[in-house]
Amino acid sequence: MTSDPMWGDFTLLNKTTEPEYSAFNLNFKALTLVTLIYKFFTYPFMKAASNPNVGLGFALIYIFFASIFWFFGLHGTNIMNGIFGPIWLYATVQNSIAFKAGQDLPFIFSLGFFDAFIFLGGWGMSLGLILMTLIMGRDKQTRIISKNLIAPGIFNIDEPVTFAYPLFLNPVMAIPAIIGSCLLVVWTWFWMQIGVVPGAALLIPWMAPVGIGGFLTTGSWKGIILALSNLILMAVLYIPFILIANKIAKNKGTAVPLNYLGRIQFFFTGRNYAEPKTKELRLRQRVELKNSSNLQERRGLKVYYRNEWKTLHNELVTKYRQARNDKKRARQIKKKSQKTKKT
């Protein structure tokens, strides 16, 4: 009997006939040779990956270049798995054997580590981006798209958010997506290294939702807490970049100036207090462009309405700011009156 955790046990039955034995013997020798070659080339990497510090370097290289490839529209995870996939797979198998035997896990980084704690919603922890866009985003089109991205994001499907949001060739959102992914690797590694959270021992479906995957791969409720904390940290990291995107949308004239209650209303209904004016202007624009007689007149109308949209947007922003300032003044007056009553 030959035992190998990567290939299993090979036995030869006593009742095997001579031709069957010859064929089996040839296959067994070939398989053993493949195993030896595989181990010869992968042993240095496995040995290095079992070292916590070197393994962290491998993981950072893996996640950094995978994110770079995703930014350019390539499937970065599949590309990098061609290099690092055998390492993570071997680590997963060894962790599973140790977990079953009740021993300490030899590897921190495995397939379950990335699927349960790093690729939540897709690369760059894009589920956090979707949620924060729905809360803080002011670009109407992006908010509508984000609502449709919630379902695939829950199941860690990358492509919709990459090409619809888009993260593809989006330099503003690429910064937190790439840097944040690397920071999450270090953050998760730290808690597993000091033993607060159990390591990722088991292979899980990559589409397991947030928290569920963390529980399945670690077998502990602490995996759920760590996965949720990763999501919250990444969502907070996206906030300043969403504010930058809001300014860009404002300059383009597509921002929706709403307060927090207005954003909630806009999320569920798609309406805001500016809708009657925008509808009226849009209808007038369509009618006049349709009735225009020549190309020069159409061009003039387009320039005119572009300026009209900018004027309307500035007017709405001014009203929104005035209303916000009035609320602040009312609060200040109320606080002063309460203080005077107490004295």
Spell out the residues 6+ positions from residue 297 whose beta carbon is closer than 8 angstroms to its own. none
For the chain, the structural domain boundaries read 51-252, 273-342
Instruction: Place 259 in a pLDDT band, splitting at 50, 70 and 90.
Output: very low
Confidence (pLDDT) at 26: 43
CA distance 117 to 125: 9
Report the DSSP beta bridge partners of residue 139.
Answer: 255
Confidence (pLDDT) at 269: 45
Instruction: Place 22 in a pLDDT band, splitting at 50, 70 and 90.
Output: very low
Cite the DSSP H helix spans in 76-158.
76-101, 111-117, 126-136, 140-154
**Residue 53 pLDDT exceeds 60:** no
Angle between helices 295-342 and 275-291 in degrees, nearest 10:
170
Give mean pLDDT, residues 191-195.
Answer: 89
Q: Tell me which amino acid residue 165 is.
A: Y
User: pLDDT of 112-155, one tens digit each?
Assistant: 899 889 888 888 888 889 988 888 887 777 888 888 888 888 88
Cα within 13 Å of Cα(310), Cβ side: 8
Top-ranked range on mean pLDDT: pick from 31-40, 41-50, 197-206: 197-206
> What's the whole-number average pLDDT of the chain?
75
**Residue 282 pLDDT exceeds 90:** no
Confidence (pLDDT) at 265: 44
Identify the helix (H) or strand (E) that includes residue 175.
helix 171-193
**Residue 203 pLDDT exceeds 50:** yes
User: pLDDT of 296-327, one tens digit each?
Assistant: 666 666 667 677 767 766 776 677 677 777 87
Q: How far apart are the first and last CA of the chain?
A: 90
Q: What is the largest CA-CA distance in the chain?
A: 105
Q: Global pTM?
A: 0.60
**Residue 64 pLDDT exceeds 90:** yes
Confidence (pLDDT) at 105: 87
Confidence (pLDDT) at 313: 67
